[in-house]
Structure 1
C-alpha cells in the first residue's frame, strides 16, 4: 500500500481543480468578513459613494477608536457577552459530561425516546417559546438579571452537548473501564481517572460549540428578558449605533469585529483540541 499522501496521488489538473474549488468556497465564506472589515476602515461619508470602491483609498482605523466614544458602554457589553457565554459553557459541560456518559454506557428503559426528546428541543426556535419563557422568568424574579439569559441558554444547548459527547464516548473501548473495575476502581473513579482524560478532546469540542452557540444566541433572550443596559450583551448593545437619522456603519462593523475577537482568540488557542476531538475515533480500530 502506497504511503504517499492522498493529495499526491492526483494528477496535476485534479489537484488544480481541488484547490480552485477550495478557493471558490473560501471566497464565498470569507467575503462577508472581508467586506465588513473594509467598511470599518472607510470614512462614513464615503461608504455610499459612486462609483463603489472595494478597497478604501483613504481608509484608517479611526472607527476602532471613536466607537468607544459613540457607545461608552461598549466594553461592558462585550464583557457581559463573555461572562454569559462562559457561565453557560461551564454549566453545560458540568451537566453534559455525566449525562453523556450515562447514555453511552447504561442501558435503561426509555433512553432512546429520551434522547429523541433532547434532539427535538433543538427543532424549536427560541422565538416560539418566548412568551412561556417570559412568564417563567417573571414568576421566578429573574427578569433584568444575567440569569434571564443564562438559564434559557443552558436549556437550549444541553441537548446538543449530550448528543456530541455521547457519540464520542461510545467510541471509547469498554475494556479500559472493565480493567479499572477489575483492579477495584468504582464507577465514579473510573469516570474521573479513565474516561474523562480520554474524552477530553470531545469535551473541548462540546465546550467550544457551546461557547460559540451561547455567544451567538444572546440577542433574542436579552432583548425580551432584559431592559437594563448594565446587563446587555454585545448583540443588543450594537443597536446603539443605529440612530434616528443615520446608522454609523463603520463603527458598527468595527464594534462587531471587536466583539468577535475574543471568540476568535479562544478558537485559535483551542483549535488543536477541536481538530483532535473531531477526528478521534474516525478510524475503525
Structure 2
C-alpha cells in the first residue's frame, strides 16, 4: 500500500522546522521592501528622516493616499494608460506567439535553431541600448507621441520570452494528437485551433501573464523617450511629478506606487489559478 502521508509529514521535526525557517527568511527578504515602502507611505513627510529612525510609523495615516491626487490630478489617467498599453501589448504578443510557438514546437525547418537562438539573444540587450535606433524608427514611422510608439517596442521585446515559454509547453503535447487530426482530414490551422489550443490554454495563460507583467513594468523607458504628451503617459512617467527641485515627496510617491501596482496585482491574483495550472501541468507523468 502506498504511503498517503503528505510530503511535509515525512520529514523529522527538525527538518520541518528548517524548511519553514528557510521559507520565512526567503519571504522576509522578498516582502521587506514592500512592507517598508507601505510604512513610508503612512508616515508624515516631516518624520521620514527623523533620528533615531522609527520602523513603525508614529501618527501614521492614509493621508498621502488622498493628497497625491491633488499633486497629480491625472494619476487615474496614467494608471489607465498603463493598463491599456499592457493589455494591448499582451493581446498582440499572444496573437503572434501562439502560431509561432506551435511552428517551432512541431516543424523542422532550416535555421530553426539559429532563429530560436536569435530570439534568446534579444533578451540579452537592454532597451536603453537600442533607444536611439528605435527613436529614429518611430520618427520615420510618424508614431512619436502616440500609443503606438510604446506598443511597438514593447511587443518586440516581449515576443522572444513568450515564444520560449509557450514552445516548451507545446512540445509536451503529444504529436499523436496532431496525427489523429490529420488522419481525420483536419488542416494545420484547424488542428491548432480546435485540438492544440484547448490543451495548451494553461501554458498560454502563463505566457500571457508573464507578458502582461513585463509590459506593465517596462513602459517607463519607452514612454520617457518616445512620448512627450501628458495624455499618453503611463504611471511610471507620471510618478516623476513627485520629484521636485528641492525635495522628493516620498510618502506620496510610495502611496502612488502602491496605487499603481494594485490594478495589475488584482488581475494577476484573479488569474493565478491559471498560472498554477500552467506551471504544474506536465510535472506528474500520467
Instruction: Return the TM-score normalized by structure 1.
Output: 0.98
Give the drift of 1:181: 2.0
Give the drift of 1:166: 0.3
Structure 2 match to 1:127: 128
Matches of 1:193 and 1:3 in 2, distance apart?
38
Matches of 2:134 and 2:58 in 1, distance apart?
49
The correspondence of residues 1-285 of structure 1 with structure 2, limited to 5 A, is: 1-285=2-286
Matches of 1:133 and 1:186 in 2, distance apart?
39
Matches of 1:284 and 1:164 in 2, distance apart?
20
Give the drift of 1:183: 2.1
Give the drift of 1:186: 1.8
Matches of 1:282 and 1:174 in 2, distance apart?
18
Matches of 1:278 and 1:151 in 2, distance apart?
28
In structure 2, the residue corresponding to 1:51 is in which secondary structure?
coil
Q: CA RMSD in A?
A: 0.9
Unaligned 5+ segments in structure 1 are: none
Matches of 2:248 and 2:124 in 1, distance apart?
34
Matches of 2:6 and 2:176 in 1, distance apart?
33
Aligned residues: 285
Matches of 2:128 and 2:121 in 1, distance apart?
15
Give the drift of 1:184: 2.2
In structure 1, the residue corresponding to 2:271 is in which secondary structure?
helix
Give the drift of 1:3: 2.2
Deviations 1:105-157 (A, max 9, x none): 11111111011011111111111101100110111111111111100000000
Deviations 1:30-54 (A, max 9, x none): 0000000001111111111111111
Which stretches of structure 1, 4 residues or longer, exceed 3 Å deviation after superposition?
none
